[in-house]
Structure formats: C-alpha cells, structure tokens
Amino acid sequence: MKAFVVSKYKAPLQLAEVPEPDVGERDVLVQVRAAGLNPLDEKIRAGEFKQILPYKPPFVLGHDVAGTVLEVGAQVRGFKPGDEVYARAGDHRIGTFAERIAVAEADLALKPASVTMEEAASLPLVALTAWQALVEKGNVRAGQKVLVHSGSGGVGSIAIQLAKHLGATVATTAGAANADFVRELGADIVIDYRTQDFEQLLSGYDLVLDSLGGENLTKSLRVLKPGGKVVGIAGPPDPAFARESGANALLRAAVAAISAGVRRQAKRLGVRYEFLFMRADGGQLREITALVDSGALRPIVGKTVPFGETAAALGALDHGGMRGKAVISRA
C-alpha cells in the first residue's frame, strides 16, 4: 500500500510502498478516508521527540484518522466491517498517512454521525488534548475562569468550546482578525496578543491551557488564583510525565532538571504546573462523539488537501495563521 514515510529524521516525507498492516487479535483494520495534520507530526519528523518516542526510521507518520472498518481481530467485539470510525492512533502505532492502518480497539470510536470524514479526522488529537487538559487535569467546573491560549488554532478552538460547555468563563488570546471567530466559539474575553498583554488584563484564573511555553508560560502562572493550575502542552515536560512514559532514571533526571525552574516559580506563587502529552483513548472519544452530535462541539477544518499533497501540507503548518486544523482527504 502507499504511505508517507519518514526515511530518516529531518528528511522530507516520502511517498513509498509499504507492507500491509499486521492486524492483531484486538486490532481493527481501517481504510483511511481522512487524516488530520498536527504540529506533533512535524516535530516527530524533525526528531524532537526521539528520546521519548524512539521511532526507528523508516516509519509511516500520522496520528489522526477517520475511515471505514475493513477487518477486525478475533477478540474485537465493539466494531464490525463497514463501521465508520475515528481515532488518534496510539504512540508507537502511528501511521495514518497511509491507505490503511491497524488501530487498537481501545483507541477507536464510532465517528460522529453529524460530521464528514474530514471533520471527524480533524478531531481526535486536539479534542483529546482539550479533554485531558480541562476535564482530567483541570477538573473544570461551572463558574470557574479558564484561559485558553491561541484560541483560533487546532487545540484552542476545541478547548474554548469544551470549557464553555463545562460552564466556565473563557478568555483567550488571538489575533484581531480572529476575534469574532473565537467569540463565536464561546470566548467571553479576547486578548489581542499582538497589542495587549494578557498578564496585565487577567487575574484570578482557575486554569490556563498553555500551548506556547517560554515567557508565555511564565506569565500564565501569574494570572492564576492561589491553587490554580497551568496545563502546558508545549513543555517543559515534568517528572510525572517522565514516570508515566517509562523513561529511564537518566532521562527522568534530565526531565526534572528541564522543568525545575517553572515548577519553582509555580510553588512560590502558590499555583501548579503540569505538562500534558495527550494519549489515545477510545472511551474519551466516545464522550467527544456525544458532544459533537449534540452540537456542543463543532470541528474546525481550516484546510483540506488531497492525499498526494501530504508532505507539502505538513511543511506548511509552520507558517501558522490557519483556523482550526488541516486535513488530508482520500475521498
């Protein structure tokens, strides 16, 4: 079958013939109809995560998939051929930039009936990130105040909607051209990151979802109320993440050192910092499916490109400026 392959780290994606996927007893073989493009894909191609996700080239890239079930393993009970499904493929089992992929049953869910394949493919990674940040780590409740950075992007556009659904007052940072767009998603307060300093305008927040890191993360700590939390998806990774990922002692020590500064700052301020590297989870996707089909969440597809243009589309992610997600279509 045809797939886009990382032949070596930092090299451009290459279209190649690769073996058909192995389908285990608890796996589901999916005919790929659409695949989401994520900054994580580009970072893996560039080798930025090879210490914690040591894929051995050549490997097929791609995390998000929507498609049709072709075959199920002997112990699969929740899916059957012909089902329309979507997933964020699990770590060490990625490869959605291909004609077919075998996905663990536990990572898969039925696609929302109310959206297209392309819209469904835009959701898994960003919606699971938002869910794990706001629901799992943030425990966001009605009446709380949540700041979502980069509100017009892939994660931000879903996180705004989810935070609003949970009953929070939502602030976001965005360019002036996207102010009305993020308000339509549910943002109550919009900060123009080019002309305004969110730290000077916001205070007393329960949770910040930070997707930028660096100085933005440091300033985010200072808008929290005592006991508040920043969940960071751009780093630095923290010791809890290193433990959960099974890192060896040397890597755990290195991770602890990398995040020591921000954790000290948080402690001095009486707040907390936690790193999130989202994981695949079919059960959470089923919760997200219900929210999509009820109208509480809507996918934001900023661009759709044909399968043959996958390599160029991935490279274009660095230019930014797009609302929501870019999606590869095999329609």
- Average predicted confidence (pLDDT) for the chain: 95
| pLDDT for 42 | 94
State what percent of residues in the chain have pLDDT above 90.
Answer: 88
**What mean pLDDT do residues 42-60 have?**
90
Each as own residue / partner, the long-range contacts of residues 215-221 (CB below 8 Å, 24 or more positions apart, any chain) are: 216/149, 217/262, 217/273, 218/262, 218/265, 220/147, 220/149, 221/262, 221/265, 221/266, 221/269, 221/271, 221/273
Fold of 125-275: Rossmann fold (3.40.50)
Coil, helix or strand at residue 302: strand
| pLDDT for 27 | 98
DSSP 8-state assignment for residue 8? S
Domain limits, CATH 3.90.180.10, in the chain: 2-123+299-329
Peptide bond into 226 cis (omega under 30): no
Instruction: Tell me how long the chain is.
Output: 331
| pLDDT for 250 | 83
Q: What is the pLDDT of residues 208-237, one digit of tens each?
A: 999 999 999 999 999 999 999 999 999 888
Paired strand residues for 146: 170, 207
State what percent of residues in the chain have pLDDT above 70.
Answer: 100
Q: Identify residue 78 by its one-letter amino acid code.
A: G
H helix or E strand, kind and range, residue 209: strand 205-210
Q: What is the pLDDT of residues 236-287, one digit of tens each?
A: 888 888 888 777 888 888 888 889 999 999 999 999 999 999 999 999 999 9
**What mean pLDDT do residues 174-191 have?**
98
**Which residues, 6+ apart, have CB-to-CB distance to 153 below 8 Å?**
211, 322, 323, 324
Residue with tokens 């660095």: 318
**What mean pLDDT do residues 136-154 have?**
98
pLDDT category at 326 given cuts 50, 70, 90 is: very high
CA distance 76 to 69: 12
Which of 87, 133, 114, 152 has the alpha carbon at shortest distance from 297? 114
Greater model confidence, 316 or 31? 31
DSSP 8-state assignment for residue 20? P
Q: At what angle do helices 282-294 and 124-131 cross, to 10 degrees?
A: 100
| pLDDT for 248 | 81
**What mean pLDDT do residues 66-92 have?**
98
Peptide bond into 21 cis (omega under 30): no
The DSSP annotation for 115-147 comes to: S-HHHHHTSHHHHHHHHIIIIIIT---TT-EEE
Domain limits, CATH 3.40.50.720, in the chain: 125-275
pLDDT category at 95 given cuts 50, 70, 90 is: very high
What count of Cα atoms within 13 Å lies in the side-chain half-sphere of residue 34?
A: 25
**What mean pLDDT do residues 284-300 have?**
98
- Which CATH number is 2-123+299-329 given? 3.90.180.10
